[in-house]
C-alpha cells in the first residue's frame, strides 16, 4: 500500500472514530447499570457488577402519569428521568422528561449541551421553537396534542402554553443518558460568582444599573 493510500485510510478511520464518539459512547456490553456511588472516575458512571444486576435495575416507577406542581415564577415543572434517577440508562444514550405547564406557563429558553430533544405534546397547545447559532435564525411553531417537534442538540429552545385557562403536558426523549441543561437567563444573570456587570452592560447595550437589578432578582429568588 502506498504512503498516500495509507494516509487516506488513516484519515478516514480517524473521521469514522470521531463520528462514533461524538455523542454518548456506545456500550461495549449488553448493559452497564450505573454504580452511582463508585469512586472510579470515568466519563459517565462505572458499571455495577453484572452478577448483582436484576430486573429492578431496568425499571423506574417514574409516575409520569401524575401532574406536577407548576406554582413557580415561570409556571412550568420539568421532571427528569436520566441516569441520575435511573441507573439502568447508563451507556444507553437516552433519557426522558415530563414537562408540566401552568396556563401561560413557560419552559424558559435553555440548552441541552449533550442531547437532541424530541418533544411530544400530550395535552394542550404549545408555542415552541429553537434558535440556531449565529446569525440566530428562529424556527418556531404552534403544536397541539399528538404533535412532535425536535430541538437539535445544543440549540437554545423553549416552550410556552398558549392556553389562558388550562394546563398543558409534554414528554421529551433526549439522546443522552445525561443531557445537562443550561437555562440562559439564570446562567447569564444568576451565575455564582456573577459575571461582571461591565461585561453584561456592554453585551446587552444597557445601563449597568439594569444589569445590577437583573442579577439581584436572580440571586434573591434563587432561580
pLDDT of the residue at 41: 78
Q: What is the mean pLDDT of the chain?
A: 89
Higher pLDDT, 187 or 17: 187
Task: Assess whether pLDDT exceeds 50 at residue 18.
Answer: no
| Sheet bearing 76-81, strands edge to edge | 76-81, 95-101, 168-174, 117-123, 148-151
pLDDT in tens, 53-94: 999 999 999 999 999 999 999 999 999 999 999 999 999 999
pLDDT of the residue at 217: 83
Give the range among 12-26, 109-123, 140-154 with minimum mean pLDDT: 12-26
* CA nearest to 100, candidates 158, 162, 167: 167
- For residue 205, the tally of other CB atoms under 10 A from its CB is 6
Task: Assess whether pLDDT exceeds 50 at residue 177.
Answer: yes
Three-state DSSP at 116 gives coil
C-alpha cell at 133: 447559532
Q: How confident is the model over 169-178, as a mean pLDDT?
A: 97
Do the beta carbons of residue 219 and residue 212 sit within 8 Å? no
Higher pLDDT, 114 or 220: 114
Alpha carbon distance 202, 44 (integer Å): 38
pLDDT of the residue at 26: 73
Task: Assess whether pLDDT exceeds 90 at residue 147.
Answer: yes
Query: Given the C-alpha cell 414528554, which residue does it identify?
Result: 171
Percent of residues, the chain, with pLDDT higher than 70 = 87
pLDDT of the residue at 20: 46
Amino acid at each position: 500500500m502506498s504512503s498516500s493510500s495509507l494516509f487516506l485510510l488513516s484519515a478516514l478511520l480517524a473521521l469514522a472514530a470521531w463520528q462514533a464518539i461524538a455523542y454518548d459512547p456506545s456500550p461495549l456490553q449488553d448493559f452497564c447499570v450505573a454504580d452511582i456511588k463508585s469512586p472510579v472516575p470515568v466519563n459517565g458512571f462505572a458499571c455495577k457488577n453484572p452478577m448483582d444486576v436484576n430486573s429492578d435495575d431496568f425499571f423506574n416507577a417514574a409516575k409520569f402519569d401524575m401532574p406536577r406542581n407548576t406554582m413557580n415564577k415561570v409556571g412550568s415543572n420539568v421532571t427528569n428521568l436520566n441516569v441520575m434517577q435511573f441507573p439502568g440508562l447508563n451507556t444507553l444514550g437516552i433519557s426522558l422528561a415530563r414537562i408540566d405547564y401552568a396556563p401561560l406557563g413557560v419552559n424558559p429558553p435553555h440548552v441541552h449541551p449533550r442531547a437532541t430533544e424530541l418533544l411530544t405534546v400530550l395535552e394542550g397547545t404549545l408555542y415552541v421553537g429553537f434558535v440556531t447559532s449565529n446569525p440566530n435564525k428562529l424556527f418556531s411553531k404552534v403544536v397541539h396534542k399528538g404533535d412532535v417537534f425536535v430541538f437539535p442538540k445544543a440549540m437554545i429552545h423553549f416552550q410556552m402554553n398558549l392556553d389562558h385557562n388550562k394546563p398543558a403536558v409534554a414528554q421529551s426523549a433526549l439522546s443522552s443518558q445525561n443531557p445537562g441543561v443550561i437555562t440562559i437567563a439564570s446562567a447569564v444573570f444568576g451565575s455564582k460568582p456573577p459575571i461582571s456587570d461591565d461585561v453584561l452592560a456592554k453585551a446587552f447595550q444597557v445601563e449597568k444599573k439594569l444589569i445590577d437589578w437583573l442579577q439581584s432578582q436572580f440571586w434573591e429568588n434563587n432561580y
